[in-house]
Amino acid sequence: MKHLPALLFFVFILISCDSVKTYDPPRDFQNIEKDLQTKFILAENNSVIQLDAGDYKFSKSLILEGKENVTIRGKGIFKTILSFKDQKDGAEGIRIANCKNITLEDFSIEDAAGDNIKVTDTDGITLRKIKSAWTGIVNEKNGAYGLYPVLCRNVLIEECEVLGASDAGIYVGQSYDVIIRKNIAYWNVAGIESENSVDVKIYGNRAFENTGGILVFDLPGLTMTGENIEVYSNEVYKNNLRNFAPPGNIVGIVPPGTGMLILATRKVDVHDNQIKDNRTIGIGIISYELVDIISERPEDPSSRDRGRSGQGVDRKYKQDLKYDPYPGDILIYENHFSSRYLIPDLRNPFGKIFLWKFGFKPPQIAWDGIKPEGYLLSDGRENPAYRICVEESEDVKRVILDAANDFKGLTADPEALSCD
Amino acid sequence: MLDVGENVAYSKVGKLKLSDYGLFQQPLNELNPARKMMLYDLNTPLFTDYAGKERYIFIPEGSSSRYNTEAVLEFPDSTILVKNFFYSNQQLEAENRKIIETRLLIKEKDKWIALPYIWNEEQTEAFLEITGGTVPVQLTGMLQPFEYRVPTMMQCKSCHELNGKIVPIGPTVRQLNRNNNYPKGPQNQLERMIELGWLDDYEDQFKWPLAAVWDNEKAFSLEERARSYLEINCGHCHRPGGPGKNSGLDLTVFASSEHSLGIMKAPVAAGAGSGGMQYDIVPGNPEESILVFRMTSENPGIMMPELGRSLIHHEGIELIEEWINSLD
């Protein structure tokens, strides 16, 4: 490393280029709060709530509860603006709960105290042509999720634009039958995230300038575990934003410069994506064990600081017997990788390791290499349930980190993740 | 001041005026029952900005409710649970108490509906206001008035929900198992219900469970009081089947493990609600426990409970801090 001083200088220049992201649309607010609250509450089944053009500000959440076949429709994302700036009551902007077949479309929603649109316990939810944003400088005080269906079935999110979320712009959790397509996600910590969900298709989206572009996570201790996720034909680029998640949230583990990250999920197909200029890794595949390792863990259990710092990692994940902390049955093929960056992002341990081990040729695909018991079957073959198969051209660099052993066995063997 | 009155657009939802139900005699604000109703209290109530609460059960003649060991009593159709929220004359340094709102839970055709009524300034009537409202209140000893927030009809369900349906929260056997003042003198509330013919299939009295009274240090342990407080203030959402079930936290007294109770449990979707901390409850360390942080916040994106309070319940936080300090 004789060029280290020059290299460090170069790196310093790169890091200091992380520009401030700001979204400051002009607004001229009117008050229709009581009228619209009443319409939400009294909405008949099989009806449409039409929102006129205008900038409207609300002091409390708008709640749609227990309704069927209701559409809430604005005049377009530039014309109908629902703002929850300085919200006093409730954590969400719009909350949809215990409904069937609800469509929200053609409006902008901004600045909720918590999540902009939360949908829970609903069968049939379409979010279409909605712009979800937090205004001002993108920062950790922004709300957590832009569009947030959880515990739902039959979810469709399409042609939406999401920015500024301090967790995920589009997040679907603990849901079945989900389509996320043709959306644009930028300036969030996570652009698009599927968590503990089953039968999810994520395609035709553009995720750029987030900390991580697309995440597929499975976390312990929840109502269900996820599987059957297909991520294809997305453009995932320049996801190099600093991680501005408030500490204590799992998404805080995502290194800046991550294209896609698959955590502890099974049956994930990733293909035909354009993955470009993500400075740490194109696609990362990791176990919850790695999450546990990389988060701070003070040695002294009586330490007064043991609740502070680090991320929201569940040390007791092994107590959740339904939870499998390892990824498996992962298939990655025919993606297109490119990067103009020679040096990985050094604000995270992985970037540093990659620079140290590979110099100016950082890898595109990395697996933490942490193997569960039962990784090999009794006859010595790999257990298909834990298999990670990469079928990409030879110039796509793939590495096994051996993260459980301080990266000692780190390898960049093109055959390493081949399943032929 | 809040402008209240009859809004006929609401007539398909419920009666427009509280007096329309004929529950109380005139003058209405004395809250003297006009029908056969039973006054009741809970062993540990929800904190609502230091408001006093006067609760009544109305059960129609010839009907009765069924005993449940854990869940709320199974009430018959046409039951009305009445909860009046008021500030006493001492709290207001005024001549009279002031009733702010009356919330009704009404069971019709096996379904509950929740309706908020807001009292007028003259204290002569309360009007249905499904969009809720804000009432400025100046309490003795507080420098400034605060905004008491009456929930919208939909916000009612944000708490009163179990498996997608509206349910009452308070009237469980363990919460009702206490004395109240009745015409004949102090009497157990459940005994009173039995005497009225309003409770069926009940267990022997010695088997009745008892919820700890959160501020009665003589009769209950710290652990019992803290758990009882958490259950009534948090456990309606944070329980299996409740609106907050997605995080896996269970703050009822039936939580199956320390972990589901939040001890060294990482948050799931807390956002800024984590306050930069890693766990809901860190034994021995309340200042590093997300639970305490969120109880101490007034920011709607952070505070817990999410609804129903504008003020911080200092005495409740003291209790929870003391309990967390006592944990190993």
pLDDT in tens, chain A (420 residues): 455 566 555 555 555 456 789 999 999 999 999 999 999 999 999 999 999 999 999 999 999 999 999 999 999 999 999 999 989 988 999 999 999 999 999 999 999 999 999 999 999 999 999 999 999 999 999 999 999 999 999 999 999 999 999 999 999 999 999 999 999 999 999 999 999 999 999 999 999 999 999 999 999 988 899 999 999 999 999 999 999 999 888 999 999 999 999 999 999 999 999 999 999 999 999 999 998 887 754 433 444 443 334 556 777 787 778 899 999 999 999 999 999 988 888 888 888 888 888 888 889 999 999 999 888 888 888 898 999 999 999 899 999 988 888 888 888 877 778 887
Q: Nearest to residue A161, comparing CAs of A117, A123, A217, A103?
A: A117
In a domain, A70, yes or no: no
Same domain for B116 and B65: yes
- What is the span of the domain harbouring residue B240? 222-326
Number of domains in chain B: 2
Q: Using alpha carbons only, what angle is made at residue A394 by residues A260 and A406, rounded to the nearest 5 degrees?
A: 55
Nearest to A332 by CA among A234, A210, A232: A232
- Top residue of B152, B162, B247, B304 to mutate, by most chain A CBs within 10 Å, is B152
Number of domains forming the structure of chain A: 1
- Which structure tokens are listed for A378? 């009794």
Q: Do A309 and B271 touch (CB under 8 A)?
A: no
| Chain B residues near residue A115 by CB distance under 8 angstroms | 271
B50 located within any domain: yes
Is B245 found in the same domain as B169? no
Residue A28's contacts (CB-CB under 8 Å, 6 or more residues apart) are A55
Question: Do B147 and B261 share a structural domain?
Answer: no
Nearest to A167 among B271, B278, B306 (CB): B271
pTM of the model: 0.90
Q: Is A220 exposed, middle or buried (0-12, 13-18, 19+ CB in 10 A)?
A: buried
Residue A335: domain span: 134-296+317-405
- Hey, is the C-beta of A307 within 8 angstroms of any chain B C-beta? yes
Same-domain pairing of B20 and B99: yes
The answer as to whether A45 is a domain residue is no
Q: Which chain B positions have a beta carbon within 8 Å of A147's beta carbon?
A: none
SS3 per-residue string spanning B27-59: CHHHCCECCCEEEECCCCCCCCCCCEEEEEEEC
B19 part of a folded domain: yes
If asked whether residues B170 and B248 sit together in one domain, one would say no
For B300, half-sphere exposure in the C-beta direction (CA atoms, 13 angstrom radius) is: 23
CB contact under 8 A, B164 and A309: no
Within this chain, do residues B18 and B166 fall inside the same structural domain, yes or no? yes
